[in-house]
Amino acid sequence: MNWKAFLAMLSRDAHVARRNFVPMVMQTMLQPMLFTFVFGRVLVSGGMMTQSYQDLLIPGVMAITMLMTGVMGVAMPLIAEFQFSREIEDRLLAPMAIEWLAVEKILGGMIQALAAGAVVAPAAWLVLGRGTAVSFSNVAQFACIAILVAMMSSAGGLLLGCSVGQTQIGLLFSMVLAPMIMFGCAYYPWSALAAFPVVQKLVLINPLVYASEGLRGTMTPHVPHMDLALVIGVLAVMNIALIALGLNRFVKKAVG
Query: Is the dihedral angle over the CA atoms 186, 190, 194, 199 positive or is it negative?
Result: positive
Say if residue 20's pLDDT is above 70.
Answer: yes
- The mean pLDDT of the chain is 85
- Between the alpha carbon of residue 74 and those of residues 14, 62, 190, 246, the distances in Å are 12, 18, 28, 11
At 10 the pLDDT is: 80
DSSP symbols for 168-197: GHHHIIIIIIHHHHHTTTSSS-GGGGGGSH
* Of residues 223 and 233, more confidently modeled: 233
At 228 the pLDDT is: 94
Specify whether the CB–CB gap between 43 and 133 falls below 8 A.
no
* Of residues 15 and 247, more confidently modeled: 247
**Predicted structure pTM score:** 0.87
Q: What is the mean pLDDT of residues 98-113?
A: 89
At 85 the pLDDT is: 67
- Residue-wise pLDDT for 189-229, tens only, equals 999 999 999 999 999 999 999 999 999 999 988 888 999 99
Residue 84 has phi, psi (to 5 degrees) of -115, -70
Domain boundaries, the chain: 3-255
DSSP symbols for the chain: --HHHHHHHHHHHHHHHHHHHHHHHHHHHHHHHHHIIIIIIIHHHTTSS-GGGHHHHHHHHHHHHHHHHHHHHHHHHHHHHHHTS-THHHHTTSSS-HHHHHHHHHHHHHHHHHHHHHHHHHHHHHHH-TT-----S-HHHHHHHHHHHHHHHHHHHHHHHTT--GGGHHHIIIIIIHHHHHTTTSSS-GGGGGGSHHHHHHGGG-HHHHHHHHHHHHH-TTS----HHHHHHHHHHHHHHHHHHHHHHHHHHHH-
At 138 the pLDDT is: 83
